[in-house]
């Protein structure tokens, strides 16, 4: 069974959140309340696993304008 990360949803501004892990079956619905406090919670999605493809070097990312810009926006002088 996977372990999911949850955090409480603050009821008041400035209130601290609490994070905890819960082991659940994949078929189980996400928790709605903290089992200890009863406070509302949300499931936290964390980073994934990158699977390398082949042995080629990573290509540099284009730092220019994004797709669809076509030079008609203010990002091109």
Taking the mean position of all CA atoms in its chain, how far away is CA 28?
Answer: 20
> Considering only CA atoms, which of 70, 10, 4 is closest in space to residue 41?
10
User: 77 falls in which pLDDT band (50, 70, 90)?
Assistant: low
What is the maximum span of the chain, computed from C-alpha positions, in angstroms? 57
- For the whole prediction, is pTM greater than 0.75? no
What's the pLDDT tens digit per position in 26-35? 999 999 999 9
C-alpha angle 39-43-49 in degrees, rounded to nearest 5: 155
The whole-number pLDDT of residue 75 equals 56
Average pLDDT, rounded, for the chain: 81
45 and 17 in contact (C-beta within 8 Å)? Answer: no
């Amino acid at each position: 069974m996977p372990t999911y990360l949850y955090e409480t949803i603050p009821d008041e501004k400035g209130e601290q959140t609490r994070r905890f892990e819960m082991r659940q079956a994949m078929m189980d619905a996400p928790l709605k309340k903290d089992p200890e406090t009863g406070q509302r919670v949300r499931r936290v999605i964390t980073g994934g696993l990158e699977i390398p493809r082949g042995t080629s070097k990573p290509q540099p990312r284009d730092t220019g304008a994004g797709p669809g810009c076509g030079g008609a926006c203010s990002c091109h002088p």
